[in-house]
Structures are given as C-alpha cells and as structure tokens.
Amino acid sequence: MKITTRCRYGIRAIVEIGRNYPIRPTTRREIAANQELDDSYLENILLDLKSRDIVRSLRGVKGGFVLSRPPESITLLEIFESLQGEIVPSECILVPSVCDRVDDCVTRPVWIRMQQAQKQVLQDVTIRDLLNEELKTRTFDYQNPA
C-alpha cells in the first residue's frame, strides 16, 4: 500500500487541528503555515474531511476548523478511507470477477490477509495516539522572560 500525499497531508492537518481540541478552532492558514502545506491544496483536503464529518468549519473572525469528535474517536483508517479510499492490495479483493482464476488463486488469500492487517493497524491508531506521541518526542523552546 502506498499512502498518497493527499492522505499524509490530511493526517497532518487533523493532528494540527487536534492540538487545539477543544480549546479553539484552527484556521486553514495556520494549518498550512505550521505544516508547510499549500493552502489551496489543503482547502480541498479539508472539504473532503468535512464532508465525511471528521472536521467541522466555524465561520467568523474566530472561526476555523475543529474536530467533529474527540481525537480518541478518530482513527487513521477513517481519515485514510476518506482521502484515499478503500485499502486494496489487489483489485480482485473487491471485484472477484476481474480475474478468471479467483477461485483457484493461491495468492488471493494473502492479499486479503494483507488488507486486513493494514486496516487493523490504521484502525488501532487514533489522533489522540499521535498527539500523545508528539508530546513525548517534541522539543520545546522555552525562553526566559526579559
């Protein structure tokens, strides 16, 4: 499975929004600047995440994007499928009719197991997990007050 740029950027955007959960909305420009993403490309990603009810947008001066649910209830699988679609190592998993040998194929069960394993890994990781990991690995710059 290859993860698309769109999917990687979407996960980065959700993590950025999750940092501010439930304190305040995060603006698209803030996400783009902090994650070094193209603002117009990010806009399309956020619209797709909004249509799948992963994020909500709030209008107004203090508006921006917020998570639709707590970060512990949003999995990477949900984001992945929203932005990239179904995990499919081989087309015959979803559409067996594409292959005449599907009933006798010795590799198809392997592709199915591979799909299940990938989905399980993504299902097991939440945005909260990523935020917690970030806190463990992030270095902070503390400045002494002048």
* DSSP three-state, residue 3: coil
Under a CB-based contact definition with an 8 Å cutoff, are residues 99 and 52 in contact?
A: no
**Residue 76 confidence class, pLDDT cut points 50, 70, 90:** very high
C-alpha span between 144 and 22 (Å, rounded): 28
Domain that holds residue 80: 5-85+126-135
C-alpha span between 121 and 18 (Å, rounded): 20
Residue 9 lies in a domain: yes
C-alpha span between 65 and 71 (Å, rounded): 13
Question: pLDDT per residue over 84-99, tens digit each?
Answer: 999 988 998 889 899 8
Question: pLDDT per residue over 13-53, tens digit each?
Answer: 999 999 999 999 999 999 999 999 999 999 999 999 999 99
Give the total number of structural domains in the chain.
1
* pTM for the model: 0.86
The owner of tokens 């097991």 is 124
Average pLDDT (57-73) is: 96
Residue 26 lies in a domain: yes
Q: Domain with 40 in it: what CATH number? A: 1.10.10.10
Residue 53 lies in a domain: yes
* DSSP three-state, residue 130: helix
pLDDT at 146: 47
Would you give the DSSP letter of residue 126? B
Average pLDDT (63-90) is: 96
One-character DSSP codes across 61-77: TT-EEEESS-GGG-BHH
